[in-house]
Structure 1
Amino acid sequence: MAKSFYLNAENLASLPKDVSVPSYDRDQINTSILHIGVSNFHRSHQAYYIHELIDKYKELNYGICGVDLLESDRKIYNILKDQDGLFTLYTKEKNGSHKAKIIGSIVEYFYGPENPLAVIEKMAHPDIKIISLTIAEDGYHLNEITGEFDINHPAVKEDIKNPFSPKTVFGYLTQSFKLRKLRNLPGCTILSCDNIKSNGDTMKQSLYNYVSITEPDILNWISKNISFPNTMVDRITPITNSTDVHTLKEDFHIDDQWPVVCESFSQWVIEDKFIHDRPVWDKVGVQYTENIVPFENLKLQLLNASHTILGILGTLHGYKTVYETANDKDFMYFLKAFLDVEVTPTLIDTDQKSIDNYKKNLVSRFQNPHINDQLFRICQESSAKVPLFILPTVKYQLENGMHVKNAAFIIAAWAKYNDGMDDNENPYDIVDTKSGTLIRTAALSIQSPMKFIQIKSIFEDLSEEETFTTYYLEALSQLRENKIKDCIQNWNAN
């Protein structure tokens, strides 16, 4: 194997010509964005868009200061510090064309557990115009039953006791806003980039709830100086594995400790509600809108729902990747029927042509053989995903006296999934904050089939809907006696 070059600022000029490297002087970049949660998705999405803006248009005022707040983030923090904030975006096309691009938009990096006061000071700095977030749903600390901010969450209670050594994003934001107010500094825009419905509104309400208890004197200042646009983000970004690291060395001679793999498709839609001048991200394909709802519904109810469904069904069969499941004609026939008959009628704010194009493109994306997206990743925290991606369709259909047959099968399959054993009798882990409840009620549903959908914190009163439960009980009975493929084929035929 030819010599590979360790990824850092010094070695950029030594990389092969087919590797795209930053064309700008990173020392000249001004940091105006602070991003919390430097995940694979952030690096494939927001950091990519901002890199493109700087690279193509020399907009040097949009550099990113990355911030991680969790103990589990120490590894990525150490790697990116070691690599001068640089990382490889490894894009894989369906036709086999692979590209390597070095992203240079992250020019500063802080690690909260190491120095929380330094993070608070940086968040309060007047140069920071946008604080963006990819903290996943559990980072919002929502009550599992009400969906509202949980002021009694252990991490939140700990922040209330120790305000200058916070653990949650709310603790950090509150202290930084307090400093901005005391110093008579301008506010900023909070930009959630997480897959939760009305993510900006959710963040706003949660923060207001926290501040009203901890620092009520700054609540009025926040209401006048901080904005919370809703956003829709989309790019399939699987877990990086050792094969990807090795292939980059072989094919592109890049020694990157943690590259990011992604598909070529990407979309970012943002409500036009910025405190300062709107960033010129539309130059690189970001869409600004006055109404996020149609974009949000397409993403959550089609793509995210489909991912969750393929994850459950494929895992039960013994598949390991989205690609395998999406190329199984029985599973895809079922999925398409669910999307066409049960989901599409709920998308009342979107024209039919846009819906059809989105669904067609979605199937193509799932069937990319080079995106090794693990079903294990897709199925993690399903208890947060099912209520968000699938149950809104069920609720709409029931309220309008329409179809719920396939949705009922999906929920029954999810109950079976929580047995933790596929049809080849191979065990798999249930990774979920509610795993104890899920596994226990799934086991109880063998003798008492209704037990699983009587989990109030997930299903509310769904168990009382006779139309739904009739299909659910029929599906669960079949799934308890037969393999998932046989059940799907039978269900598709009827």
Structure 2
Amino acid sequence: LVEAELPVGAPPKSAWGVIYAALAMRVRRGIKPFTVMSCDNMPGNGSLAQRTLFEFASAKAMAGDIFAGEVSELITSGAVTFPSTMVDRITPATEQSHKDFIEQKFGIRDNWPVVAEDFKQWVIEDNFTNGRPLWEDVDEPPLLVPGEDVHVYESMKLRLLNGSHSAMSYASYLAGHRLVGPAMADPKIFGFVASFLDEVLPTVMKAPGVDLDAYRNKLLDRFSNPHIEDTLLRLAEDGSQKLQTTMRPVLLDHFSAGQEFRVMSIAIGAWIRFMTGIDEQGEAIHGVKDPAGGEKLKELAINVVADPNEVTVGILLKEYFGEEVASHPAATTLIAKAVKDISDQGITQVLERYAGKR
């Protein structure tokens, strides 16, 4: 798609092509540039947008576009700004049950309803050129913060919400659950997630205006919402990438502080067991999506489950968590023990110790 847009005069088709064309038009007409605000659900989305657009402009320059140099200058000089954003709202993929609910409740047949929880948090870096929308005039405005504070909110969400989502997904699926709400109604799962959050909390930097204990409690309420009907398989997707941003930094902080991470070890052990592709009843787990991990991750997971020890675990951790985690004796020992306990006792028995935790 992008390659077809590079020749001089080629019509834009991709988002980057359209943004570049708009900036080039402003250069031609002597109009001030605009702000490019990414809402992609990923950390540092503003910086990533800036880098990607600059690479597109550089490719246009190589193709002979006479405006590419000036557009590139706008991007690198700060004349075009790229504020980062962070959104926190659970929005599951559309399921048949959602369509049926809308039809039964409102008499409307909508083939693609967007289901979301009541809670929402939108944090935006206050870095705009030529003004910005007057969000102050709306009932529930986003939170505008300095650039460095966006990272604090992102880190909080990644470690607490995303990390506990992943931890819950693998353990709950192995325990026989398929939806988040019913899983959280299981006292063992609820207690496990609560314990995971408590173990992570000491590593989380406090975001301005956020009570971390209240945020932790609110997460447990949000996950327990029976009406969202979010699937555990959706939360389990792309673990080989997600765990690098949600659990790896927490492990490193625990290493530095000399703190234990037994709950996270069980979460990672459940992930390894899940990624073998076979559940505890010996049935294939259908719908596992982790293209980055692929067959290599499955092979390594099978090796660990077949012989859970510091060596097999270290090989897998080095591939997906890096040498710093893989070489830490406590990490390989605790995770190997977690995998062995899950294999020998079953995940339900392993989680029994967390029942009743609030």
User: TM-score, with normalisation over the residues of structure 2?
Assistant: 0.84
Q: State the SS of the aligned residue for 1:181.
A: helix
Name the CA shift for 1:248/1:160 in 2 (closer, same or farther; >3 Å).
Answer: closer
One of 373, 383, 396 as aligned partner of 2:253? 396
- Residue 359 of structure 1: which of 209, 216, 235 is its match? 216
1:320 to 167, 178, 181: 178
Q: Does 1:234 align with 2:69?
A: no
Q: What residue is the counterpart of 2:162 in the other structure?
A: 304
Structure 2 matches for 1:200-219, cutoff 5 A? 200-215=46-61, 217=69, 218-219=71-72
Matched residue, 2:231: 374
**SS of 2:155's equivalent?**
helix
Q: What is the Cα deviation at residue 394 of structure 1?
A: 1.0
**Deviations 1:218-268, CA, capped at 9 Å, x for gaps:** 321223332111112011111222232233223212232211111111111
One-letter identity of the residue aligned with 1:438: L
- Pairing 1:365-444 to 2, within 5 Å after superposition: 365-428=222-285, 429-434=287-292, 435-444=294-303
Alignment partners' CA distance in 2, 1:192 and 1:204: 9
437, 445, 454: which one aligns with 2:315: 454
List per-residue Cα deviations over 1:81-110 (Å, max 9, x = no partner).
xxxxxxxxxxxxxxxxxxxxxxxxxxxxxx
**Alignment check: 8 A CA contact 2:35 2:81 kept:** yes
The offset of 1:321, in angstroms, is 0.7
**Residue 334 (structure 2) aligns with:** 471
2: CA distance, partners of 1:317 / 1:465 = 29
User: Is 2:44 aligned against 1:198?
Assistant: yes
Question: What's the counterpart of residue 134 of structure 1?
Answer: none
By how many angstroms is 1:278 displaced?
A: 2.1
Identical positions, percent: 28
Instruction: Evaluate the alpha carbon distance shift between residue 394 and residue 160 of structure 1 in structure 2; reply closer, same or farther with a 3 A threshold.
Output: farther
Q: 2: distance between equivalents of 1:331 and 1:293? A: 30
C-alpha change, 1:175 and 1:443, in structure 2 (3 Å) is farther
Whether 2:113 is the aligned partner of 1:271: answer no
Alignment of 1:234-273 (within 5 A): 234-273=88-127
User: CA contact under 8 A between 2:237 and 2:289: conserved in structure 1?
Assistant: yes
The CA deviation at 1:373 is: 0.5
Aligned to 2:30: 184
Matched length: 337
| Cα distance in 1 between the residues matched to 2:42 and 2:119 | 20
Cα distance in structure 2, aligned partners of 1:230 and 1:222: 15
Greater fraction helix: 2
Alignment equivalent of 1:284, drawn from 139, 153, 158? 139
Between Structure 1 and Structure 2, which shows a larger proportion of strand residues?
Answer: 1
Which residue of the partner structure matches residue 482 of structure 1? 345
Instruction: Say if 1:195 and 1:233, in contact at 8 Å, map to a contact too.
Output: yes
Q: Residues 289 and 237 of structure 1: is their aligned pair in 2 closer, same or farther, counting only changes over 3 Å? A: same
Q: Deviations over 1:114-147 (max 9, x none)?
A: xxxxxxxxxxxxxxxxxxxxxxxxxxxxxxxxxx
Give 3-state SS (helix, strand or coil) of 1:191's partner: coil
CA shift in 2, pair 1:352/1:166, >3 Å:
closer
1:222 to 69, 75, 80: 75
- Which amino acid counterpart does residue 233 of structure 2 have in structure 1? F
Question: Residues of 2 paired with 1:165 and 1:480: CA distance?
Answer: 57
User: Following the alignment from structure 1 to structure 2, what is the Cα–Cα distance between the partners of residues 399 and 365?
Assistant: 31
Show structure 1 runs of 5+ residues with no match: 1-154
Pairwise CA RMSD: 2.8
SS in 2 for 1:279: coil
2:233 & 2:277 partners in 1: Cα distance? 12
How far did 1:443 drift? 1.8
Structure 1, 346-355 or 270-279: larger mean CA deviation: 346-355
